[in-house]
């Protein structure tokens, strides 16, 4: 049998590892976490995400020590270096939810209260550029992102720069929002979430993941991903698509059956192809893999030891 670089935990074994977590959730925290995603169960937070936040807290403390060692070696005053966590995985696997839960949990640890969250969606080229390059049906593929700008962004944050800006993407208009940016200033931790964060390639000599201190791949079977994508599409049909400014407004009046077909064809022709060609092959680059089953329940965790 080939040697695996990962330690494998089933859910029960993993949840044991929260035992020493001196972190309890107040009623207010619970309400806050509920607000992130009403489908997220609190068992999930306690059994999966609390142990993960404990592990990350230990890594952050060690990394801060190492950065200080380098400064001491250089004879420089100690400077704070942001700890960067990348979260990768397919469309609809739940990257944003995982990122928000971790942001909420990590910001409660006393030694790193400022946890910022950025999605790589903002680095997609605007539709105008994608249209000109014939890439409107390749959104999410490597060539649909301004990879240089994304790399610059992460490098700037890592180097301790203040006021680093990122463009903003709107799922409602399905496009970059003109003249809007988010600003990140010296966070203790930056969580960068996106399909592409573990990808390497293109013309650049450095990769976004060169700046990661930890990385997570959220994983699930294709059939589950397909159903999560379709369910979310149907939910959006009843909500966001009804707004006239929605890019998919013309789909709001479809029957559920027809909407399911439209969602399935977008899934098959765009997101599944991207998953197979560009996203799934990056899974084994992650430090930790969260393996989800039905209802988004994490069934197993794989932690890289080598
Ligand atoms: N832990 C969870 N428990 C229950 N439901 C979840 C969980 N995580 C995600 N979901 C549901 O799965 C769907 C996709 O989640 P989310 O938007 O977080 O995914 P994503 O990977 O960021 O997707 P995309 O890349 O398409 O934006 C949503 O409908 C969300 O409510
Ligand atoms: C914006 C991305 C690429 C990533 O979040 C994705 O949500 C997307 O829009 N994919 C293109 C096909 C689709 O509309 O699902």
* Mean pLDDT (10-residue bins), the chain, 306 residues: 88 87 69 80 88 93 92 91 97 96 89 91 98 98 96 96 97 96 96 97 84 98 98 95 96 96 98 98 97 97 93
Q: Which residues of 242-277 are buried (b: 16+ CB within 10 A; e: fewer)?
A: eeeebebeebbebeeeebbeebbebbeebbbebbee
CB contact set of 15 (below 8 Å; sequence gap of 6+): 46, 47, 48, 51
Dihedral Cα 207, 98, 283, 302, nearest 10 deg: 120
Residues 151-174 have pLDDT tens digits of: 999 999 999 999 999 999 999 999
Give CA–CA dist 123/192, Å, rounded. Answer: 12
Ligand 2: list residues with CB < 6 Å.
91, 121, 139-140, 195, 266, 270-271
- pLDDT in the model for residue 301: 98
**Which ipTM value was assigned to this complex?**
0.93
Alpha helices in 11-94 (DSSP H): 11-16, 27-36, 42-44, 50-74
CA of 126 to the centre of ligand 2 (A): 13
Among 67, 58, 49, 4, smallest CA distance to 290 is for: 49
Instruction: Write the DSSP symbol of residue 217.
Output: E
Q: Looking at ligand 2, which atom is closest to the CA of residue 119? A: 5
Return the pLDDT at 80.
Answer: 86
**Structure-token pair, residue 233:** 């599409």
Which of 43, 47, 94, 228 should be mutated for ligand 1, with most atoms under 8 A from CB?
Answer: 94
Q: Is 287 exposed, middle or buried (0-12, 13-18, 19+ CB in 10 A)?
A: buried
Per-residue model confidence (pLDDT) at position 22 = 58
Report the alpha-carbon distance of residue 255 to residue 17 in Å, rounded.
Answer: 46
Task: State residue 217 phi and psi, 5-degree precision.
Answer: -115, 125
For atom 13 of ligand 2, the residue with the nearest CA is 266
pLDDT of residue 59: 95
Q: So where are the chain's domains?
A: 6-304
pLDDT on residue 1: 64
**CA pair distance 82, 164, nearest whole angstrom:** 13
Does the annotation place 163 within a ligand binding site? no
Task: Look at ligand 1, atom 29, and give the residue with the nearest C-alpha.
Answer: 232
> Hey, which of 33, 39, 198 would you mutate to test ligand 1's pocket, going by the most ligand atoms within 8 Å of its Cβ?
39
Structure confidence at residue 23 (pLDDT): 58
The predicted-structure confidence for 67-87, as pLDDT tens digits, reads as follows 999 999 999 988 889 999 999
- Residue 93 labelled as part of a binding site: yes
The answer to whether the beta carbons of residues 87 and 192 sit under 8 Å apart is yes
95 assigned ligand-binding residue: yes
Atom 3 in ligand 2: which residue has the minimum CA distance? 140
- The CATH superfamily label for domain 6-304 reads P-loop containing nucleotide triphosphate hydrolases (3.40.50.300)
Question: Ligand 1 mean position to 193 CA, how many Å?
Answer: 12
Q: Ligand 1 atom 11: the closest Cα is on which residue?
A: 94
């Amino acid at each position: 049998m080939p040697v695996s670089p990962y330690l494998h935990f089933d859910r029960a074994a993993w949840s044991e590892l929260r035992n020493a977590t001196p972190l309890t959730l107040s009623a207010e925290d619970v309400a806050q976490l509920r607000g992130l995603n009403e489908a997220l169960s609190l068992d999930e937070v306690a059994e999966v995400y609390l142990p993960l936040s404990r592990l990350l807290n230990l890594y952050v403390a060690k990394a801060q020590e190492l950065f200080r060692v380098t400064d001491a070696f250089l004879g420089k005053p100690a400077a704070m270096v942001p700890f960067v966590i990348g979260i990768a995985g397919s469309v609809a696997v739940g990257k944003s939810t995982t990122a928000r839960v971790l942001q909420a949990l990590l910001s409660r640890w006393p030694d790193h209260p400022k946890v910022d969250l950025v999605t790589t969606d903002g680095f997609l080229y605007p539709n105008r550029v994608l249209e000109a390059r014939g890439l409107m049906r390749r959104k999410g593929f490597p060539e649909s992102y301004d990879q240089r700008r994304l790399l610059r962004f992460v490098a700037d944050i890592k180097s301790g720069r203040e006021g680093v800006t990122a463009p903003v993407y709107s799922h409602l208009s399905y496009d970059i929002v003109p003249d809007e940016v988010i600003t990140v200033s010296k966070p203790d931790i930056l969580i960068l979430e996106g399909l592409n964060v573990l990808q390497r390639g293109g013309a650049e000599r450095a990769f976004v993941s060169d700046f990661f201190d930890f990385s997570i791949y959220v994983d699930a079977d294709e059939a589950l991903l397909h159903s999560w994508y379709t369910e979310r599409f149907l939910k959006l049909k009843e909500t966001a698509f009804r707004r006239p400014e929605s890019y998919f407004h013309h789909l709001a009046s479809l029957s559920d059956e027809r909407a399911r077909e439209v969602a399935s064809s977008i899934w098959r022709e765009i997101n599944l192809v991207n998953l197979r060609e560009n996203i799934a092959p990056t899974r084994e680059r992650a430090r930790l893999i969260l393996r989800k089953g039905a209802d988004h329940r994490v069934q197993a965790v794989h932690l890289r030891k080598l």
